[in-house]
Amino acid sequence: MAESNNHDSNSKPTWFTPKTLLVIFCMINMLNYVDRGAIASNGVNGSLRTCTEGGICTGGNGIQGDFNLNYFQDGVLSSAFMVGLLLASPIFASLAKSHNPFRLIGVGLSVWTFAAAGCGISWNFWSIAIFRMLVGVGEASFISLAAPFIDDNAPVAQKTAWLAMFYMCIPTGIAVGYVYGGLVGGYFNWRFAFFGEAILMLPFVVLGFAVRPLQLKGFGPVELEKTSAPEAEGYGGAVSGNGELLNYISKKTAWSKGKSDFTNQVSKFWTDFKVLFSDKVYVVNVLGYIAYNFVIGAYSYWGPKAGYAIYHMENADLMFGGVTIVCGIFGTLAGGLILDRMNSTISNAFKLLSGATFLGAIFCFSAFLSHNLYGFLVLFAIGELFVFATQGPVNFVCLHSVKPSLRPLSMAMSTVSIHIFGDVPSSPLVGVLQDAVNNWRVTSLILTSILFISSGLWSIGIFLHSVDRYDEVEAFAAEGPDSSPLLCENTADMSNESRLP
């Protein structure tokens, strides 16, 4: 009877299947990147006030025009949300060991929704910069924890394909954001783009707290600890009537316990951090990803402006958005499916990463050499197909090169690394480069050449000794529903089998 009650208490809604989880997480990820595309779009980002030699001036528009930002400030604004993301990602990854990861995602999405709405009511550069930082804090929990949930619940033969579907939302979301930001900014006002994002995210915030929390593989069940009253433990009736003394003792005990918990949390984080970055396979993978993200981050932010300046695209937002949507979807899915077909091993993942990035770099570099708009679009589209094929494999390596309990921290530190050394500096640095050379074609060619460095770094991983550690059993991981994926469609059958003599 006890076992039956326990099974019922851990049952999940019949509608909440692994595929439903994937769809929900893809939609959330899409919204995260729609926000990034929207703020980079010409409709939302806008342009500065300009004057001709004859003294005829045109008013600025969008964020840049309303707040009178130079290119460096504009680039900093694009990266401001990364500050919150970088600071909060390791914190959420560490908290996953003591708090339910699914609930942590709900908390993060709540902060994200508040911050997105805040961007819409901002009144100057510093106010919107602060709200952009809070957007990053909100996104941090999702970035760290969503991929491990998907990896747990995906079919064994389709793990990379499921990850590819999830990461397909990055280029697709950015592209949709270009179009969304352009339309909303053009027909209404750039502020309404942020209000719309907050409204669209709100149902997922509710879902994060309404659905019974899930558990990750490699983590034991999170127990709620209750501190017993001191008088019941060791002080007895001698102090039971002294309210002030009891209150003092209770506060002191709570403070001491909180200090001890914090110290233990920091110690565990540092231990896990050292284990993670002593792994050569993980480090090489992240280094290649940093160089890759340096280019992609700058592409996503400066792409529409560069396209407009070089090829005089009348609808740069729509052009870049359309190409990125198509290539992002097909390229990312193709990368995941190809790796699954090759046999999902870490060595094969590195082969695909290196080869696809090298080919993508050749086509993208050739595209910016072209002086014809249609030649540029064809070459750039082919290049993006190859470049986006890396999304599934690179995250497969992050998840499978470490033991299960380190996966949230692995994803968090990968995110921190690729942003702090990749797209955080790339947008303002490319802005500085453009201010210096004043030639978007030259700037784009210099930027694209960094993809060759990324390909070279990933090629090193092919020759490293690698072991898939996904199924590694850790000493503290208990058998049962709390130490395994809870949305597997055969969970009930597995639970029943475990009770057989």
Q: Tell me the DSSP string of 272-321.
A: HHHHHHT-HHHHHHHHHHHHHHHHHHHHHHHHHHHHHHHH--TTHHHHHH
DSSP secondary structure code for residue 472 in this structure:
P
Does the pLDDT value for residue 492 go beyond 70? no
Does the pLDDT value for residue 226 go beyond 50? no
Does the pLDDT value for residue 470 go beyond 80? no
Give every CB contact of residue 9 below 8 A, 6+ residues apart in sequence.
none
Question: What confidence tens digit (pLDDT) does each residue in 111-120 have?
Answer: 999 998 998 8
Question: What confidence tens digit (pLDDT) does each residue in 394-420 have?
Answer: 988 988 888 887 888 888 888 888 878
Does 225 or 355 have the greater pLDDT score? 355
Does the pLDDT value for residue 482 go beyond 60? no
128's enclosing H/E stretch is: helix 125-153
Q: Is pTM beyond 0.75 here? A: no
Share of the chain above pLDDT 90, in %: 13
Beta carbons of 338 and 396 less than 8 angstroms apart: no
pLDDT at 281: 92
Confidence of residue 218 (pLDDT cuts 50, 70, 90): low
pLDDT at 278: 87
254 by Cβ neighbours in 10 Å (0-12 / 13-18 / 19+) ranks as exposed
Beta carbons of 100 and 61 less than 8 angstroms apart: no
Instruction: Please give the Cα distance from 479 to 172 (Å, whole number).
Output: 39
Confidence of residue 60 (pLDDT cuts 50, 70, 90): low
Nearest C-alpha neighbor of 29 from the set 152, 180, 147, 189: 147
pLDDT at 61: 67
471 by Cβ neighbours in 10 Å (0-12 / 13-18 / 19+) ranks as exposed
pLDDT at 300: 73
Does 231 or 429 have the greater pLDDT score? 429
Reduce the DSSP state of residue 97 to 3 states and report it: coil
Does the pLDDT value for residue 129 go beyond 80? yes
Nearest C-alpha neighbor of 421 from the set 291, 301, 273, 300: 291
Does the pLDDT value for residue 274 go beyond 50? yes
- The pair of structure tokens assigned to 458 is 């990933």
> Across the chain, what does the average pLDDT equal?
76
Q: What is the mean pLDDT of residues 79-90?
A: 80
Confidence of residue 450 (pLDDT cuts 50, 70, 90): very high
Q: What is the DSSP string of 150-211?
A: HHHHS-GGGHHHHHHHHHTHHHHHHHHHHHHHHHHHHHS-HHHHHHHHHHHHHHHHHHHHHS
Q: What is the mean pLDDT of residues 161-173?
A: 82
Question: What confidence tens digit (pLDDT) does each residue in 35-58 have?
Answer: 888 887 766 766 666 666 666 656
